Chains A and B, each alone.
Chain A
Amino acid sequence: MTESAPVLRHPMSKYIREDRQPWIYCPGCSIGIVTNMVARAIDKLGLDFNKVVVVSGIGCSGRSSGYFKTGTYHTTHGRAIAFAEGVKIANPDLEVIVISGDGDIAAIGGNHLIHACRRNIDITVICINNFNYGMTGGQFGPTTEHERYSQTSPRPIGNIEHPFNLVKLAASSGSTFVARWTAVQARRATRSIERAIKKKGFSFVEIIGACPTAYGRMNRLGDGLKMHEHLLEVAEIKNGLPPHEAELEYESKIICGEFVDIEKPEYTAVLRAAHTKFKESI
């Protein structure tokens, strides 16, 4: 109902599909920002479009894959990582990037996450953690804090469960690169995403985001702007901190930075070596 604004080209229009715009996201949502981070990271690294596959699951975050001009795959709820592993194993020359939500990656898909970490397969997983299931109207999820409200943890009691700390989960499951940023730290987050993509091994980047429509409204956290201002306020950068100290308390402190960057044999490389060895043995 507002006057239509003059059409501006998207700064990342080289990578982002303008024909799929406007975004489906609510005003003030972080997902568009994160999509941009990934586009910028691809741009900075000068990746060959044709060799990039963006994979996502189902959810608001999961819709991000559809905005990329690269090959994209929108899989089923929770299965993005499992699918991505198949893509990478079939053709290790591809750069495989998963972008999805906290519910998708850590609830229904939690098992695939920990096993992909353990396997150390060279894919990059970007989890947009908005502390709830945005797409289905705002139910609590595996990252929702204790006593927070949601459609399925209503007032006055709130969530009786306790959240995962995804940085700790990924690190202890064996991920070789682990970072956390908030949606407002666009430059730093983009740089981490670049490193994550470049890393030969499983990389996990958590981006703390705002879902003003569901989580924000139910917990009276203000609109998108206010929520992002809050993220800026409570983000504390501690690069190199041991991952088990990377605390996350929405109200007061979100520890950000790169916490893990280690070398381990990567799955597809090991697989190739095994094949070569086998061939030589016969």
Chain B
Amino acid sequence: MDISFNIGGEAGQGIDTIGDLLAQIFVKQGFYTFTHKDFMSRIRGGYNFNVIRVSDRPVHAPSHKYDVIIALTEDAIRRPRDSLVEDGVIIFEDSIEFSDLEPCHFPAPLLKTARKVGGNIRMMNAAALGAILSVLKFPFHLAQDTLAEIFGRKGQKIVEGNIAVAKALFDLTAKEFSRSCSENLSTIKKGPCSDRMMITGNRAVALGAMAANVKWVSSYPMSPSTSVFQDIVSNAEKLRIGTIQTEDEIAALLMAIGASFGGVRSLTTTSGGGFSLMVEALGFAAMTETPVVIYNAQRPGPSTGLPTRTEQSDLLFSVFASQGEFPRIILAPKDPLDGFDVTVRAFNLAEKYQVPVIILGDQYFADSVMNLPRIDVSTVSIDRGKLAKDDDGEYKRHRLTDDGVSPRAFPGDPGKIVVSTGNVHLEDGHITEDPEIRNAMVHKFMNKIPFILEDLNHPTLDGTSDAEMTLLSWGSSWGATNEAMSILSEDGVSINHLHFTDVYPLRDEVLKEVFARASKVIAVEQNTLSQFAKLVRMEVGLSVTHHVNRYDGRPLTARWIIDKLEEVGAL
């Protein structure tokens, strides 16, 4: 089974709710779901849609075709029409004036039924759901239980109202719309998936940070990162986390650095525009060797760009941001589960090496919803790195050591005076212009890099290891790229997929092996310049043979990648 739904309408019409309900019904039934949100940068109006894909196999990307479309505006009827599968169905609210009816169209009295049967137009969501389930011939009693569970908290009346509205539309659709949909689920069995936790990439980052015992978050709101900050703020009292919404991103990162200097794990969340403002402080964190984690949910730039859409174009910016040279770590999660893991590791790496760690998400990662297994927080290990001991002698914040890492102490620790500066400094943290010390401190920075590299994860290689063709991706491009690889290899193409979550500094062992074996290496990236491929060339001296780039702000799909592979002559 592999079904895709497109639920479209204006901002503020509740398409998220319909999508959530639908996904939950399939999750409860044991299926994998993936929801992508496509929305405009406005609070009301416009044309937004959610794509929900349901499968008995894990899904990590939307599909390019829809089986069922639910439309709450005329735009939502017309715009996805060409992406409807041949025997697909478009259900739309029947008060919309639309006369170009085709056999696939079903005008449904969603609002009317919500009002009449449920007494509340908000129950239009349940009405839409009833219609969708009906065209799929999905046994209503299975959905009924899920609805009861979902609405249970809101009281018996709401539960009954929603179920009655859904049932009314379910029956009405069965009676009045005879066309059968591409999928018939009348004999649906429990699916193979027992993962029930439905979360976005952003929520995974927030959970990861909280599991890693973050104690300070200072941020300025910026799409698509804001929900991480909001999630942590809403748990702050319970978990005793200090949070502050600053006047801008300059203050956000500086406060986080200050908090870290004060002794706690700290985080700031932003998008590229905000990260641009943080650049001065980034160098300051590096010079003072103060650990800090920065989450950048990328969106298409430059400048305000496309505020609610996706891109992976801040990679090289993150690698080079700030004047001067210093070690930093960049991690780019492939999906929400990875997002949790990456965030926990980010805090450990930051404190172990006393460097800034940048997590590069993007809108696709940030807002997409998947069902995940329960995360066992007790497996999270916390490594705060080298901490000063009492018998270390006179405390020097920037003591020279073999691995470049000096034990940390915090202001207020008895007997230890903690001194640091953004100027070049002595071991004790006071300013110097001595060339020898300057060199020693530069070497101290650079000495950390081999240790960091050892600590980073290798890339993952999916598919046969000796394939002739390798797709090379990083971060959230994993899902669509992996699906493209699977489809092609089922078609007999000799292909595999090499994916990096830990993107910088770059571990090159597997890269070298793959480049030695494959005759074609194709970079698949959501940017114009193939930034990761450029990084590989810069760091390892190896060049990919082809490039597949998407930069229209829309998510990758397997089909899109395969079409492009043909276009660039890789297939």
Contacts and interface: CB of A to CB of B under 8 A. Distances in A.
A168 interface: no
A139 B230 CA distance: 9
Contact of B12 (A26, A60, A107): A26
A136 B43 CA distance: 9
A140 B42 CA distance: 18
Contacts of A110: 247
B72 interface: yes
Interface stretch (A93-101, A149-157, A233-241, A265-273): A149-157
Interface in A100-157: 107-108, 110, 133-137, 139-140, 142, 151-154, 157
B273 A77 contact: yes
A136 B226 CA distance: 8
Nearest to A74: B304
A47 interface: no
A78 B248 CA distance: 9
Given A76-B303, A136-B226, A107 B247 contact: yes
Contact of A213 (B43, B93, B237, B245): B43
B230 A107 contact: no
A136 B95 CA distance: 31
Nearest to A1: B95
Interface residues of B, number: 32
A139 B223 contact: no
Contacts of A139: 221, 226, 230, 245
B95 A137 contact: no
Interface string A141-179: 010000000011110010000000000000000000000
B44 A152 contact: no
A24 B304 contact: no
Given A22-B45, A26-B43, A27-B44, A154 B234 contact: yes
A25 interface: yes
A81 interface: no
A201 to B, nearest CB: 26
Contacts of A77: 273, 304
B346 interface: no
B222 A136 contact: yes
A151 B43 CA distance: 15
A76 B72 CA distance: 33
Interface string A11-27: 00000000000101111
Contact of B304 (A58, A136, A151, A157): A58
Interface in B57-73: 72-73
A152 B229 contact: yes
B72 A1 contact: yes
B529 interface: no
A108 B234 CA distance: 23
Contact of B45 (A24, A133, A136, A140): A24
Interface residues of A, number: 32
Interface string B215-232: 000001111001001100
Contact of A24 (B46, B96, B220): B46
Contacts of A137: 43, 221, 226
Nearest to B233: A152
A102 B245 CA distance: 15
B234 A60 contact: no
Nearest to A150: B245
A81 B221 CA distance: 21
B220 A108 contact: yes
A87 to B, nearest CB: 17
Contacts of B273: 76-77
B344 interface: no
A60 B223 CA distance: 14
A151 B221 CA distance: 10
A103 to B, nearest CB: 8
B409 interface: no
Given A76-B273, A151-B233, 18 more contacts: A1-B95, A26-B43, A74-B304, A76-B304, A107-B220, A107-B247, A107-B248, A108-B247, A108-B248, A135-B41, A136-B226, A139-B226, A151-B230, A152-B233, A152-B243, A153-B233, A153-B245, A154-B234
Interface of B: 12, 41-46, 72-73, 93, 95-97, 111, 220-223, 226, 229-230, 233-234, 237, 243, 245, 247-249, 273, 303-304
Interface of A: 1, 3-4, 22, 24-27, 58, 60, 74, 76-78, 107-108, 110, 133-137, 139-140, 142, 151-154, 157, 213-214
Q: Which A-B residue pairs are the 10 nearest by beta carbons?
A: A108-B248, A26-B44, A136-B221, A24-B42, A139-B221, A107-B247, A152-B245, A1-B95, A152-B233, A151-B230
9 contacts: A77-B304, A78-B248, A107-B247, A108-B247, A134-B43, A137-B221, A151-B226, A151-B230, A152-B230
